[in-house]
Amino acid sequence: MRSIAFYGEAGAYTEQAAMQVFGTRAKYLPRTYISEVFSAVEGGVDCGVVPIENSIEGAVTQTYDQFVGARLYVTGEIILRINHCLIALPGVKIGSVRKVYSHPQALGQCRKYLEKLKVEAVPFYDTAGSVRMLKEEGLRDSAAIASAKAAEIYGMNIIARNIAQNKHNYTRFFIVSRKPAMKRGNKTSIIFTIKNYPGALYHALNAFAESKIDLTYIQSRPVQGQPWKYNFYADFRGDRGDEGVQKALMLLRKSTKYIRVLGSYRKAKQ
C-alpha cells in the first residue's frame, strides 16, 4: 500500500486531489503544514500532494518556498475544481453566524460572499481543519468554509454551497517524490536565480522564445536572507529530454547563477 502525505485534515481538497490519482487503497497521512509534507516524503513516505496555485487567488507561496533546499521532484500535477461550502454545527442558522474560519486562500476566494454576510473572516491553517475545530469547540456563532466532504466526515451542516465569487474555481496541486518521474512528460517545472546584470531577466526569458518553448507560468519569490533578490519558478511545455527544452536550459544557464529542474511530468487534465 502506497503512503501519501497531504496538506490538511481528512476531507481537505488536497486529500480529494490525491485520491483522484492514488484511489482509495492508498494510506493517506494528513499534515498540518506544507513543510511537514516535504519532510514526510524526505523521511520515507512514498510521495506527497501539495497545492501550488489557485485560479482565483494565485500562487501558494509556501509550497514554492519549500523547494529551496529540498531534494524532492515534481512527478505529477492534479487540477481539482473547488466548490466551497459554508458549514456549521447542526441547527445553526446563517443569521447567527458572526465569524467564518478557513484557509486564507479559501477566505479570499469567497471574499464577496463574506462581505455580503458582514461576518469576520478568521484565517485558519486548513479548510477541513476549520470544520473539525468548530465541532470540537462547539462554536455556534461561527461557520467554516470547506468542502462538502469535510461536512460529511465531521457530521456538520451545510448552510450554503458554491459560495466562491468566481464559479470557475480550480486549484492545481503538485505530486512530490524523492525520485523523478520514470515516464516522459509533456510539462516541466524549474527554479532559477538570475545573475546580477542589466537585462539578465530578459535574456533568461528569451531563452525560451529562441528555443520555441511555450513558457506557461512564472513566479518570483524572495531569496531568504538576501533582501531584493529573487528565485524564479517556471513551468513550460515539453520534457527535459526534448531537444528544444535542452537548448532552452543551455541558453538559460548563461544568464543564471543557479538552476534546478524540479521535474518533468504529465500535464493534468482539467
Question: What cell was used for 237?
Answer: 511545455
What are the residue numbers of the active site?
171, 173
Residue 212: partners with Cβ closer than 8 Å, 6 or more residues away: 244
Give per-residue burial for 152-164: e unless 16+ CB within 10 Å, then b. Answer: ebbebebbbeebb
Beta bridge partners of 176: 48, 74
Whether the CB-CB separation of 128 and 62 falls below 8 Å is answered with no
Cell numbers linked to 107: 477566505
Q: Which residue has the cell 459554508?
A: 86
